[in-house]
Amino acid sequence: MPSPADPDRPDLPFDPAIAEWLAARASDPGALDPDVAAVRAYNRTVSALAREGLAHLETVADEEDVLLPGEPAVTARVFRPRAHPGPLPSVVYFHGGGWIAGDLYTHLTHCRQLCGGLPAVVVSVDYRLAPEHPFPAAFDDCLAATRAVLEAVGRFGGDPARVVVAGDSAGGQLAASVGLAAASLPAPLAGQLLIVPVIDLAGGYLDAEVNARYPSRADNRVGYGLTVDRMASFVGQYLQGSGAQRDWRASPLHAPSVAGAPPAVIHTAGFDPLRDEGAAYADALRRAGVRLKYRCWPTLNHGYSGLAGVAPAAAAAVDAASADLRELLAGR
């Protein structure tokens, strides 16, 4: 019998543990409050609740907050695994949160699991958030942080030949866009890990013609955590009428070329409105000759990568991301 997260079974139903989790969260204070401060506070609360179910975080040896030099300088948290002498791969991680929320604390689970699961040194980047800092501030911070890690990777115990960018949701977009800017970096990137990434901001999730290109936006418009309306709000607060909806620094799918992008692992989720744009980016990379491992987890939703302590299927998918990245770095 296939696993409940078996990517070869697109007909499987929505994960019941996550459905129960979402039903419980619907009655949380602040769950539907659109105010930016409320969204940020609620993200921290929910991430802390989700972490309570995890027992394996002791795989991280230590965590250290640092200031990465550059223009601009960026705060980051460095995670190092136990019992794995270096040099190790280094993962520069960009958190999700719609460019307006998320921080070093909301994504502790994501970074700790990559740190122990790969294993790797993980550098989690505290990039500037909109609306206070609109596009391209987040991209500029993430590019500067990646450059700083590449220039001083030995300081963190990392292997300079195995530096990867990674992220989930909006952080997946930032990782993809930094990957497209790799030619401007002081050394090549060994890979990119994109989990449920935002890929195409054209139309701002409000344009019927653009939305029709991605059936998952209609199929999963509401009911599975992230909604299309919330995505439209995020884009509005991030881009603020800048006209950058098709700028590759915000929409990687609209880059003039994706040839030369780092080898990629892309994971999407069946019950995610962003599923089909992630698949479209995987197709674009494949056509350009970029080495790629793509999976879609049909029973999971947009936020599954933070729910390993909630649903066994999410935990299996999170472990598979580390395994796929490990194989990519090994050249397999």
CB of 191 closer than 8 Å to CB of 330: no
**Which structure tokens are listed for 77?**
């948290």
Cα angle: 29, vertex 77, 249; to 5 degrees: 80
User: Angle of helix 16-25 relative to helix 312-329, nearest 10 degrees?
Assistant: 110
Catalytic residue among 103, 302, 305, 324: 302
Q: Strand, helix or coil at 242?
A: coil
Lookup: tokens for 268 = 């999407």
Catalytic residue (one of 169, 216, 251, 305): 169
Q: Is 235 helix (H, G, I), strand (E, B) or coil?
A: helix
Tokens describing residue 198: 């935002």
169 is catalytic: yes
| 311-316: Cβ within 8 A, 24+ apart | 311/15, 311/17, 311/18, 311/21, 312/4, 312/17, 313/3, 313/4, 313/5, 313/15, 313/17, 313/18, 314/5, 314/15, 314/17, 314/18, 316/3, 316/5
Known catalytic membership, residue 107: no
- CA angle in degrees (0–180, nearest 5) for 326-251-44: 65
Q: Which of 272, 276, 305, 322 is catalytic?
A: 272
> Which residues are catalytic, by number?
169, 272, 302
